[in-house]
Amino acid sequence: MAKYVINTLNRKSKINREIYGHFSEHLGRCIYGGFYVGENSPIPNTKGIRNDVVEALKKIRIPVLRWPGGCFADEYHWMDGIGPKEQRKKMINTHWGGVVEDNSFGTDEFMELCRQLECEPYINGNLGSGTVKEMQDWIEYLTFDGISPMSELRAKNGRKEPYRLKYFCIGNENWGCGGNMRPEFYADMYRRYQTYVRNYGNNKIYKIACGPNSDDYNWTETVVKIAGRFMDAISLHYYTVPGTWHSKGSSTKFTEEEWYITLFKTLKMDELITKHTAIIRRYDPDNRIGLVVDEWGTWYDVEPGTNPGFLYQQNTMRDALVAGINLNIFNKHSDKVVMANLAQTINVLQAVILTEGEKMLLTPTYHVFDMYKEHQGAELVESFIETEKVGTDKYTVPNLHESASVNADGKLHITLCNLSLSESYRVETEIIGKKAENVTGRILTGKMNDHNTFDAPETVKPQTFDKISVTQNGLVIEIPPVSVVSITVD
């Protein structure tokens, strides 16, 4: 029997709602056909935005949405996407599929999407191919309340009042698709560009710098050392790729060894957060600079027969475990991680929603976000679980993975993952500082490659979890293999 201790008396840090954020790029069918179908579409919509998608994302309490990229951000010129749609410039999306981008979804449409979702907008500015003036004008267009050329242009386009914009990132992956820059050069460019990302009126922008790819610790150290005092946070990108970048592996046809390889690689997120934040603290002893993991998730080979530049992939119980593990990690590091954004929301990479014409389905990853949503805004509490190693000769992972929090109403929320493909575990849970009385649970489980399709959209969905018994000191939980469990103790 595994021992699990939760100390509700030791409150660690607030779990920012934004940790449960999402990411939308002009890539494949994320925006067009995913979020946006246009006002003349037969698919039910409000101002061109799909009603079913909005309803689904509001259910999981989407807190923040990142846009327009991604690599697309550093070739996006925002003025091409405002004004009458028939007059907007068309462009070639050179990064993703070589398709024509008609700019029918632009700044005002994105802000309307966030209004409907009731979430914070997070905009990624163009440092790679854009000018300082272009970035300055974008902020003025969005947030200036007064008489100016950009505020007058906004009013001409139908919006007199300024928007509220909290999050803005200066550049994306500028070590790669955003300009192939050295960290010293980017740091100086960041200092220059951020100067013109101004706060107008009561709008206060949280400035985010482009951070490293995975374990490029030199990038983090150099950028923070040179430009740290001008930023509120720095980003981190890390994808879970079972194979190599040239042969990533199938999203649905994988072996037991590939299951454990995937989970082994996704657990590296804990090490990355620990090491990058340790570097940041050398130059920020007051713990002012936050970490924003604004691209994370699985990345496989695209589905057969689809455009390789659209990054469309299926989503199985393996992805559910990846989501549960990473969200637990972010919860555990909530004193450092201020935001995280899963890549990407719809039809791209580890999506929470897939669409096909008028059809829409929810992926296993969506259901994990739904099960974990009670952590949003709660306080992380101290917890520890005994684990053993499972896996293959080469790749082993802990059998169990968890986090726990207490919300403002005093309810304890526990999320627990069983990474084993074959073994169930009996978990003796001691809860310090709270008596277990009313206990409810949900479980997401199945075979390792179970997934939802448009013909069978509910193959994987949460069920009531009743393998919980109340004891004098807490709970006994019996968790089956390949599963994610959420428990509420009132």
CATH number at residue 299: 3.20.20.80
Is 338 in the same domain as 449?
A: no
- 243 and 188 share a domain? yes
Residue matched to tokens 């952590």 = 375
| Residues 304-309, mean pLDDT to the nearest whole number | 95
| Residue 90 binned pLDDT confidence (cut-offs 50, 70, 90) | very high
Cβ atoms of 9 and 432 closer than 8 Å: yes
Asked whether residue 357 falls in the same domain as residue 408, the answer is no
Cis peptide before 305 (omega within 30 of 0): no
Alpha carbon of 180 to those of 174, 177, 187: distances in Å? 6, 6, 13
Q: What is the pLDDT of residue 286?
A: 94
pLDDT of 97 over the 90 cut: no
Residue 2 lies in a domain: no
Cis peptide before 83 (omega within 30 of 0): no
Instruction: Report percent pLDDT > 70 for the chain.
Output: 100
Task: Report d(CA 125, CA 109) in Å as an integer.
Answer: 16
Task: Give the model's confidence band at 24: pLDDT under 50 very low, under 70 low, under 90 confident, else very high.
Answer: very high
Tell me: do 343 and 393 sit in the same domain: no
CB contact at 8 A, 64 and 167: yes
Q: Are residues 146 and 246 in the same domain?
A: yes
Residue 334: count of CB within 10 angstroms of its CB? 21
Answer whether residue 5 shows pLDDT above 90. Answer: yes
Residue type for position 408: A
Q: Give the rounded distance of the alpha carbon of 61 from its chain centre.
A: 13
Tell me which residue of 251, 396, 283, 403 sits closest to 331, measured CA to CA. Answer: 403
Is residue 416 domain-shared with residue 325, that is, in the same domain? no
Q: Are 297 and 437 part of one and the same domain?
A: no
343 and 407 assigned to the same domain: no
Does any domain span residue 3?
no
Choice among 85-99, 195-209, 306-320 with the minimum mean pLDDT: 85-99
Q: What total of structural domains would you count in the chain?
A: 2
Q: Are residues 354 and 222 in the same domain?
A: yes
Confidence band of 453 (pLDDT split at 50, 70, 90): very high
The answer as to whether 6 is a domain residue is: no
Tens of pLDDT, residues 333-392: 999 999 999 999 999 999 999 999 999 999 999 999 999 999 999 999 999 999 999 999
Q: Provide mean pLDDT across the span 397-417.
A: 98
Do residues 72 and 95 touch, judged by C-beta distance below 8 A? yes
Q: What is the pLDDT of residue 214?
A: 97
Are 334 and 480 found together in one domain? no
- pTM of the complete model: 0.97
Over residues 66-91, mean pLDDT: 96
pLDDT, mean of residues 170-174: 98
Encoding tokens for residue 421? Answer: 């493909």
Which CATH number goes with the domain that contains 413? 2.60.40.1180
Q: What is the mean pLDDT of residues 174-192?
A: 98
Is the pLDDT at 241 greater than 90, yes or no?
Answer: yes
Q: What is the residue-averaged pLDDT of the chain? A: 97
Q: How confident is the model at residue 98 (pLDDT cuts 50, 70, 90)?
A: confident
Catalytic residue numbers read 173, 295
Domain range spanning residue 320?
14-376
Residue 201 lies in a domain: yes
